[in-house]
Amino acid sequence: MSIAGQLRPCQNNNDSLPSHLLGHSIATRLRFDRHSISSASSDFGHLVKYPPPAAVFRPSRPSDIAALLRLSHSSPQQQPPFTVAARGRGHSTRGQALAPGGVVVDMSSLGGGIAVSPEGMYVDAGGEKMWYEVLRETVRYGLTPRSWTDYLYLTVGGTLSNGGVSGQAFLHGPQITNVYELDVVTGMGELLTCSEGLNPELFFAVLGGLGQFGVITRARIALERAPKRVRWMRLMYTEFEKFRKDQEMLISNKHEAALEWRLSYVEGSLLMDHSLRSNWRSSFFSDGDLARLKHLAFLNQGRIYCLEASYYYYSHAPIGWKRFIFCSYQDVEELLEKLSFTAGFAFANDVSYMDFLNRVHEGEVKLRGLGLWDVPHPWLNLFVPKSNMTNFHAGVFKSIMMHNKFMGPILVYPTSRSKWDERMSAVVPDEDVFYSVGILLSSADDWESLEKQNIEILQLCDRLGMKIKQYLPHYRNQEDWMKHFGEKWERFAAMKRRYDPKAILSPGQRIFAQPIQLDPSDQEPVSYVNARL
C-alpha cells in the first residue's frame, strides 16, 4: 500500500495536529513551547536541517505511547496519519530520531525503572534508561551486562534498535544478542511483550530494526558476574598487517585454547600524529608517553596503530568459575610474547571496572569544557569484511585520509559474525570475521570537508567491490536501503506492513518515506511522500 502526505509544519503547531488527537486526554502531554520544539529539532550530528516537529510528547507510561500511536494509526481516511519518532538522548547523527512536522516522543519522561534479578541473572530496564544507569544499578548486586558500547550515556532502546557494538562483541556478540525479552509499542499502538518464544517475529525484527516496527519500552538484559578490576593494555604498531593479524589472533579460538583463558575486550585504532596532540579520549598516557608516541608516528609517515586489549579480574578467584576470567601477570606476559607490537611500546593501566567502561565520559567532559562537544559530527561507521581490510587500509587510511587534520578517534577492530543472530534485522558482511571501522571525526567550522571525505570513502569501497555494510546506516533512497538489507529486505518490508502499515514510526530514517525536493529558500519540504511498502 502507499501512503501520501505527512504533517505540514506551521506557525501554530496546534493547527497542524488532527482534532481527534488534540481532543484526547493524552493531549495534555503534548508540548508546543519553543524550548521543547527546538530541543527535538536537532540531534548529536548537527548535520541535517529538517522542519521542526509539530509537538513533543512527554509520556509517563508506555500506555501513553500506545494511545498516541493508536490515534495516528486510526486517523480518518481524509486525514493522513502523523509520524512519530521516539527520542532518547538524541545521539543520532543523521536525523534518525527526528519527526519533521510530526510528534517526537521524549522517552526521558517515562517512569520506568531498573529491576535486577540475581536469581534469573537478568535486569529489566526501561527503554529510556541510559546504559550507565543500568550498570550503576546492576553492580550493586555484583552483576553486569555482558556487552557494551564505548559510550554509556545512550539509552537501552536506542542501542537495541541499532546493534550496540564495542570491544566485547567478539566474545559476547553485540548488545542485541544479549536480550531475553522486550516490551514494544507497535506502529498500530499495540503494547506487546516479545521474546524468542513469544511473538518471535516482532522480537527479532525490533532488535537492530532502526525503530521501524515499534518503540522499545522495556528490555530484559542478560547479566554475568561483575569483575572488580580491569588490566587495560595498549600496544603500538607501525605496520598495519602485524596490527591486523594480532587482533585477529586475539579474538580467535586459537588464542583461548593456547592460553587457557581469554581476553574480555579487544579494540584497535589508528592514531595520527596531529590527533596525539589532544589526548581527550582518556588520560591513559602520561605526558612522557605521549611525546614518545608522537615521535614514533612522525617516523612512520604520521600514523601508528594502537591495539587495546583488556581482561577482567576479581579480588579473589570466584569458586566454581573457569580460569579464563582470572589470570595472572605471568599469563599476560605469555600473551605479549606472542604479539608483534613495536618493542618498548606496550603500556598498561590497572583500573576499576566502572572506570574502564565509563572511560569515554572523561573525554566528553573535556570536550564540553572546550566547547567542542556540540559541534557537527559527520561520523562514518562501517563493517568491512576481513578480506577487504588490506585494500581498505591502502585506499582510505594511506590515501584518502593521508592528510586528514580533523580531530576524533578512528576505530579499527575485528569481530566474529558467529556472534550475531541472523534472525535479527541488523545486517553484517557475509564473512566469518569483519572489522568495525568508526571514523568519528568532527569539526566546528569545516564539516563539509568531512562529508566529502565520507562520500569519497564510500565511492572507493563501491568501486573496488568491497562488500561493506554501514553501521548506523544512512541512505537517501529506498533502492540503497534495499541493497543494504540484501536478502533481509523482503522480510524487513513484510514486518513493516505487519507492525507499522502506515509508516508512522521513525520517519527520520527515510526507509519508507522520501521527502519531496526542499525549497532552498527555507529548507522546508512542501510535503512528504511515502514509498510503497
Active site residues: 91, 150, 267
Instruction: Please state at what angle helix 489-499 crosses helix 478-485, rounded to 10 degrees.
Output: 120
Residue 495's H or E segment, with its range, is: helix 489-499
- First-to-final CA distance of the chain: 6
Q: What is the number of residues in the chain?
A: 533
Burial string for 299-336 (b: 16+ CB within 10 Å, else e) reads: ebebbbbbbbbbbbbbeeeeeeeeeebbbeeebbeebe
Q: Per DSSP, what are the bridge partners of residue 411?
A: 269, 438
Nearest to 171 by CA among 152, 150, 149, 147: 147
- What is the three-class DSSP state of 342? coil
Determine contact, residues 28/22, Cβ cutoff 8 Å.
no
- What is the three-class DSSP state of 388? helix
As a whole number of angstroms, the distance between CA 265 and CA 274 comes to 27
Nearest to 527 by CA among 45, 54, 154, 8: 8
- List, in order, residues 6 or more apart from 255 with CB less than 8 Å away: 249, 262, 263, 335
Nearest to 181 by CA among 158, 200, 164: 200
As a whole number of angstroms, the distance between CA 414 and CA 125 comes to 29
As a whole number of angstroms, the distance between CA 157 and CA 185 comes to 12
CA-to-CA separations, 213 to 161, 204, 459, 494, in angstroms, rounded: 10, 10, 31, 10
Determine contact, residues 125/221, Cβ cutoff 8 Å.
yes
Phi-psi region of 211 (alpha: psi -120 to 50; beta: other; left: phi over 0): left
